Structure 1
């Protein structure tokens, strides 16, 4: 069943690309590169979250970094 969700994520990414790509002018090569990188990264993140839904988010990373610092600053 997870493959169906992955297929949906890829299909949505393709539809977004088909809609947005013609709107980017040919001279805007950097914008096209950024669009491809962001879209690809989003698809990869979506697929990873389908297979690992309990993956810790960025909040847990920030908490792990700053929690010891907070203990040092307490009176």
Structure 2
């Protein structure tokens, strides 16, 4: 995916390239973590744990 998309981004678009590199690196890191720690909770569960108290406050 990286080799396919990288040439399509113009040289002028430095911010887009940096964002692309950062998101690709984070995706690779998460994939490696899942391989070594398959019992790790998913990012969706992390978000749920963080925002559950806020949701309870808003329901009242």
**Counterpart for residue 52 of structure 2:** 66
**Counterpart for residue 37 of structure 1:** 22
Aligned-CA RMSD value: 2.4
The alpha-carbon deviation at position 65 of structure 1 amounts to: 5.9
User: Rg bigger for which structure?
Assistant: 1
**Normalized against structure 1, the TM-score is what?**
0.60
The C-alpha deviation readout for 1:10-59, integer Å capped at 9, x for no partner, is xxxxxx11111110001100000000000000000000000011101232
Aligned residues: 56
CA distance in 2, matches of 1:28, 1:38: 16
Where do 4+ consecutive residues of structure 1 move more than 6 Å?
none
Tell me which of the two structures has the higher relative contact order, counting C-alpha pairs closer than 8 angstroms and 6 or more residues apart: 1
**Counterpart for residue 39 of structure 2:** 54
